[in-house]
Structure 1
Amino acid sequence: MRWLPVLYVVVLLLLEPVTPVEWPVSFVLIALPLVTAFAHGPAVVAGSAAFAVFLEGVLAGTPCCAGREVGYLWDRHYVAAYICTALVGVLGTILAAHRTHRERTLADVRFVADIAQRVLLRPVPHRIGSLQLDSLYLSAAAEARIGGDLYEAVPTGYGVRLLIGDVRGKGLLAVETAAALLGAFREAAHDEPALPALAARVETSMDRRATQLGGHEVVERFVTAVFVEIPPEGQLIRVVNCGHPPPVRIRSGEVRELDRGHSAPPLNLGMLLGEPYHVDTYDFLPGDQLLLYTDGITETRDANGTFYPLLQRLGSWRTLPPRGLLERLHQDLLAYSGNRMQDDIAALAVRLPADEPSLPPPSPAG
Structure 2
Amino acid sequence: MDRLTARRPSWRWAPPALIAVAACIDVTTPAVYTAAPLVAAACVLAGTMLSLRGAVGTGVLALVLTVLLEWDSGRLADALGWTEVVNVVLAVALGVDVNLMLEHRDRRVAAARSVAAAMQRAVLPAPPREIGPVRVAARYEAADAEARIGGDAYAIQDTPYGVRVLIGDVRGKGVEAVSTTATLIGAFREAAHYVPDIGELAVRLEDSLERDSVQHDDDRRTEEFTTALLAEIDHGCRSLRVVNRGHPEPYLIRDGRITALPPTAPDLPLGMGHLSGVRARPDVVTLCPGDVVLFVTDGVTEARTPDGVFYDPGSDPRLAAGEPVTPDTVLAALEDAVHRWTGGPRDDDMATLALTPRCPGPSARDGRADPPVRGNS
TM-score (norm 2): 0.85
RMSD (CA atoms):
2.3
Residues 144, 250 of structure 1: alpha-carbon distance in 2 compared, 3 angstrom cutoff: same
Give the Cα separation in 1 of the matches to 2:39 and 2:109: 31
The aligned counterpart of 1:108 is 111
Residues 54, 260 of structure 1: alpha-carbon distance in 2 compared, 3 angstrom cutoff: closer
- Correspondence list, 1:290-305, <5 A: 290-305=293-308
Structure 1 letter corresponding to 2:316: R
Matched, 1:324 2:334: no
Give the Cα separation in 2 of the matches to 1:29 and 1:50: 11
- Correspondence list, 1:1-366, <5 A: 1=5, 3-4=12-13, 5-13=15-23, 16-40=26-50, 45-46=55-56, 48-62=58-72, 71-314=74-317, 317-319=320-322, 320-353=325-358, 356-357=359-360
SS in 1 for 2:181: helix
Q: Are the aligned partners of 2:36 and 2:84 in contact in 1 as well (CA < 8 Å)?
A: no
Q: C-alpha deviations, 1:201-229, integer Å up to 9, x for none?
A: 11111111112334232232110000000
Deviation of the 1:93 alpha carbon: 2.7
Structure 2 letter corresponding to 1:323: D
Deviation of the 1:304 alpha carbon: 1.5
Give the Cα separation in 2 of the matches to 1:316 and 1:268: 33
Give the Cα separation in 2 of the matches to 1:162 and 1:242: 13
Q: Are the aligned partners of 1:248 and 1:292 in contact in 2 as well (CA < 8 Å)?
A: yes
Larger RCO (CA under 8 A, 6+ residues apart): 1
Structure 2 letter corresponding to 1:28: L
SS in 1 for 2:213: helix
Deviation of the 1:165 alpha carbon: 0.4
Residues 165, 53 of structure 1: alpha-carbon distance in 2 compared, 3 angstrom cutoff: same
Residues 9, 71 of structure 1: alpha-carbon distance in 2 compared, 3 angstrom cutoff: same
Give the Cα separation in 1 of the matches to 2:319 and 2:179: 37
Deviation of the 1:314 alpha carbon: 4.3
Residues 193, 81 of structure 1: alpha-carbon distance in 2 compared, 3 angstrom cutoff: same
SS in 1 for 2:49: coil
Identity %: 35
Deviation of the 1:22 alpha carbon: 4.5
Deviation of the 1:51 alpha carbon: 3.7
Deviation of the 1:17 alpha carbon: 4.1
Structure 2 letter corresponding to 1:231: D
Give the Cα separation in 1 of the matches to 2:329 and 2:21: 48
Corresponding residue pairs, total: 350
Structure 1 letter corresponding to 2:71: G
TM-score (norm 1): 0.88
Deviation of the 1:149 alpha carbon: 0.7
Give the Cα separation in 1 of the matches to 2:86 and 2:185: 61
Deviation of the 1:80 alpha carbon: 1.5
Deviation of the 1:107 alpha carbon: 0.5
